[in-house]
Structure 1
Amino acid sequence: YFLVPVENGARFRQTLLQKCIQVRDCASFGLPAFVRIATRQPEDNTRFLAAYREVMG
């Protein structure tokens, strides 16, 4: 797993869900500005990184 800092974990999660990418918003762990990411295959990692770059600008 990777913890990635974002401005708002819940909003980031919703945005990625629209792109069929699931991440866990970490607010329940007291980390509302982080998401948890788990990728299994290289192509999943590539898809996530492309979406991350698009969302984060």
Structure 2
Amino acid sequence: MLKKIPADYFDSSKGTLKLLWEEEWRALGITQSLGWEHYEVHEPEPHILLFKRPLNYQPPVSQ
């Protein structure tokens, strides 16, 4: 799967995946509810992306 990820998503100094903005990880096909932030890549296994969001997260109310 990593071979299919665009080269500009990688950190050139480390050769590992950089932290992705929501638009970037959603463009890769990752789907989850609103409010999640990509905060770390598990370097020994770079296909594992770690996400976080506040426990009390409330999605914006659409009108």
Normalization by structure 2: what TM-score?
A: 0.30
- Bigger RCO (CA 8 Å, 6+ sep): 1
Greater Cα radius of gyration, structure 1 or 2: 2
